[in-house]
A and B are shown apart, each in its own frame.
Chain A
Amino acid sequence: MLFILGLVVGAALLGLVLWLQRKEIAVRWYEWLVGALGFMMLVWTVNDYFGSTAEHNETAAHIFLWLLGTPAIILLGLAVFLPWLRLSRSAKAAAGKGDVKSH
């Protein structure tokens, strides 16, 4: 299970890095860190949700879903939002400079 998960994560990470390079998107180190934390919490959420369900602990499964899943989604969202925010700001700034030059 962990072996297959490792393969999938490795392939996805490689795809992400190649995509970012092609699009020339720079990601800061702390954004990688936030993304990694979010991903680990997501794995934990999925594992403990299905694990608790398999153990017939439905209440625990739902608590894990909310307790671990919410911060996982927030962290993953931040990991996407922060580079997007930076890119859109720099794009606006570049557009602003273009307007000044045209005057």
Chain B
Amino acid sequence: MSKYHSTLSRREFLKALGLGGAGIGAAALGASALPVLNKPVHDLDEIVSSSLAIPNRPSYVKEVEKPTIEVDWTLMNRFDYSNVMWAAGLQKALGSTQFDLVTKAQQGNRILRLKQNKPGYTLRDDAFVNAYYRATSTYLPPTTSSTPDDLGVPRYEGTPEENARMIRAFLRFHGAAEVGFVELDTDTTEKLVYAYDTGSGAAQGPKITIADVDQPSETKNERILPKKARWVIIYTIRMADEFMRRAPTPLVVAPTNLRYDLKSIIQGELQSFLRGLGYMGLGEASSANALGSKVGWAIMAGLGEHSRAMHLITPNYGLRQGLFAVITDLPLAPGKPVDFGVMRFCRVCKKCSDICPAKAINGETEPSWQNNGDYQQTGIKSWHRIEPRCLTYIREAGYSQGCILCFAVCPLSKGKRETIYQDLIRRTIATTPTFDRAIRKMDDFLSYGQRSDPETFWDLDLPPFGWE
């Protein structure tokens, strides 16, 4: 499996020869200019050698040896997911009495706004946001696909580089935007696997034990992760731009729900694919977040950089994506962290912090090692958010999640990249930090992040999934 047959199209061949002029005639024929997915796919080799298998990274993104966020791995311990704000973190931070008041306010304000028929909070908005449906997400893979043993054939074998291309092509075909890989190392990236996985509601989930065993297994209280499953597949699913412009109304929850809906399907497909090849695919056993720190793995895989908002910023989509992961024993060529100026820019910009209605985003210029509570991981030098303020604001607005103003206003999260200006500022941020302050001011001047009337959403002619 080390060599693939050629899938070079006539257009690519002419381009490679530098015979662009001959392309005029070829273009008239039309068929050769179609992108890969519009052509019939004959076999896996064709997908692996297609453009789907190549990271779609702009030229100004540079690979670096260490991530741009400082990490002290010796200070880091595997994290108990029940401590995060979205699990039991808010209750722990506020105390039971205050938490109960917030919960009552959440339901009360939801009904109040529905009765007021406030744009963005109307019954149809509310119904839209709550219209989600998810497949079951499991740690152990679904058993619907045949294994090589079932078929009496040897399992798939490829080099780590070939495998990485294959998985990237597979995931992008199934809807992922960006795909990266991390090799688990006991002293570093393995610490990003949760000590206790996501549980039901605020309850502590099963313990994740990394053990020298041949096969993964799980009980109600424990999930066994074999030591030989050394590779993390980390992938992103986009969030539609148009919703960001309607932040902080509940409408913005729709792309969040959609990415989790899609993840529940994509994860099952990936797990089945790995099973079909003869490898294990250990997934997130929750319809939401589970298994490990996805932002940490995405940074180590080179999908993007850490930001002031404490989310991942990717070169192509800024903050507008969700992150998901599967752990496997299929050897995969790991990526390297990248630098395209985000951490430098965040020091100066501070737009998310300025705009945050809950004042939850840290506005200090320099990041700090000091975290704000048990709900945050230790060992990273970041702008730690005051997360109880964030979630309390969202809950008091009447919803379980939402807001996303920080996503909406970030200068690196704007637009569909149809303007030269948007590309120019990204190149400038990556190469010339002197202009960072001017870029922030220009972002304000151009009124980027200006909010749209929530009601206009219903008249939009959106592409599938709202992905422009």
Q: Hey, which bits of chain A sit against chain B, CB under 8 A?
A: 3, 44, 47-48, 50-52, 54-57, 59-60, 63-64
Contact call A60/B447, Cβ cutoff below 8 A: yes
Residues from chain A with Cβ under 8 Å of B245 in the complex: 56
Which residues of chain B from 435 to 463 have any CB-CB distance to chain A below 8 Å in the complex? Answer: 445-448, 450, 452
Which residues of chain B from 393 to 452 have any CB-CB distance to chain A below 8 Å in the complex? Answer: 414-416, 418-422, 445-448, 450, 452
Residue of A nearest to B452 (CB): A56
Q: CA of A44 to CA of B416 in the docked complex: distance in angstroms?
A: 16
4 more CB-based (< 8 A) A-B contacts, given A47-B418, A52-B419, A56-B242? A48-B419, A51-B420, A55-B419, A56-B452
**From B416, B446, B452, contact of A60 by CB (8 A):** B446
Q: CA of A64 to CA of B422 in the docked complex: distance in angstroms?
A: 12
Contact call A59/B447, Cβ cutoff below 8 A: yes
Output the residue of A44, A56, A60 with the most chain B CB within 10 A: A60
Contact call A44/B446, Cβ cutoff below 8 A: no
Contact call A63/B446, Cβ cutoff below 8 A: yes
Residues from chain A with Cβ under 8 Å of B242 in the complex: 56
Residues from chain A with Cβ under 8 Å of B445 in the complex: 63
Q: CA of A32 to CA of B225 in the docked complex: distance in angstroms?
A: 68
Contact call A59/B450, Cβ cutoff below 8 A: yes
Distance of B240 from chain A, by nearest CB (Å): 12
Contact call B450/A54, Cβ cutoff below 8 A: no
Distance of B438 from chain A, by nearest CB (Å): 14
Write the B34-49 contact mask toward A (1 if CB under 8 angstroms, else 0). 0000000000000000
Contact call A48/B416, Cβ cutoff below 8 A: no
Distance of B387 from chain A, by nearest CB (Å): 31
Q: CA of A63 to CA of B241 in the docked complex: distance in angstroms?
A: 21
**From A44, A48, A57, contact of B448 by CB (8 A):** A57
Residue of B nearest to A7 (CB): B24
Q: Hey, which bits of chain B sit against chain A, CB under 8 A?
A: 27, 241-242, 245, 414-416, 418-422, 445-448, 450, 452, 468
A-B pairs, top 9 by smallest CB distance, nearest first, are A51-B418, A51-B419, A59-B447, A60-B446, A48-B419, A55-B415, A48-B421, A55-B416, A44-B420
Q: CA of A3 to CA of B422 in the docked complex: distance in angstroms?
A: 21
Contact call B418/A59, Cβ cutoff below 8 A: no
**From B414, B418, B446, B452, contact of A54 by CB (8 A):** B418
Residues from chain B with Cβ under 8 Å of A59 in the complex: 446-447, 450
Contact call A47/B419, Cβ cutoff below 8 A: yes
Q: CA of A39 to CA of B447 in the docked complex: distance in angstroms?
A: 27
Residues from chain B with Cβ under 8 Å of A64 in the complex: 419, 421, 446
**From A3, A54, A63, contact of B416 by CB (8 A):** A54
Contact call A55/B418, Cβ cutoff below 8 A: yes
Output the residue of B27, B414, B415, B416 with the most chain A CB within 10 A: B415
Q: CA of A63 to CA of B245 in the docked complex: distance in angstroms?
A: 19
Residues from chain A with Cβ under 8 Å of B420 in the complex: 44, 47-48, 51
**From A47, A51, A57, contact of B446 by CB (8 A):** A57
Residues from chain B with Cβ under 8 Å of A44 in the complex: 420
Distance of B439 from chain A, by nearest CB (Å): 14
Q: Can you sample 6 A-B contacts with CB below 8 Å?
A: A47-B420, A51-B420, A54-B416, A55-B241, A63-B447, A64-B446
Q: CA of A54 to CA of B414 in the docked complex: distance in angstroms?
A: 13
Distance of B468 from chain A, by nearest CB (Å): 8
Distance of A43 from chain B, by nearest CB (Å): 9
Q: CA of A59 to CA of B450 in the docked complex: distance in angstroms?
A: 9
Residues from chain A with Cβ under 8 Å of B415 in the complex: 51-52, 55, 57
Q: CA of A54 to CA of B418 in the docked complex: distance in angstroms?
A: 8
Distance of B53 from chain A, by nearest CB (Å): 25
Residue of A nearest to B421 (CB): A48
Q: CA of A50 to CA of B433 in the docked complex: distance in angstroms?
A: 28
Distance of A86 from chain B, by nearest CB (Å): 33
Residues from chain B with Cβ under 8 Å of A57 in the complex: 414-415, 446-448, 450
Residues from chain A with Cβ under 8 Å of B27 in the complex: 3
Residues from chain A with Cβ under 8 Å of B419 in the complex: 47-48, 51-52, 55, 60, 64
Q: CA of A55 to CA of B245 in the docked complex: distance in angstroms?
A: 11
Residues from chain B with Cβ under 8 Å of A47 in the complex: 418-420
Distance of A71 from chain B, by nearest CB (Å): 15
Residues from chain A with Cβ under 8 Å of B452 in the complex: 56
Q: CA of A57 to CA of B449 in the docked complex: distance in angstroms?
A: 8
Residues from chain B with Cβ under 8 Å of A55 in the complex: 241, 414-416, 418-419, 468
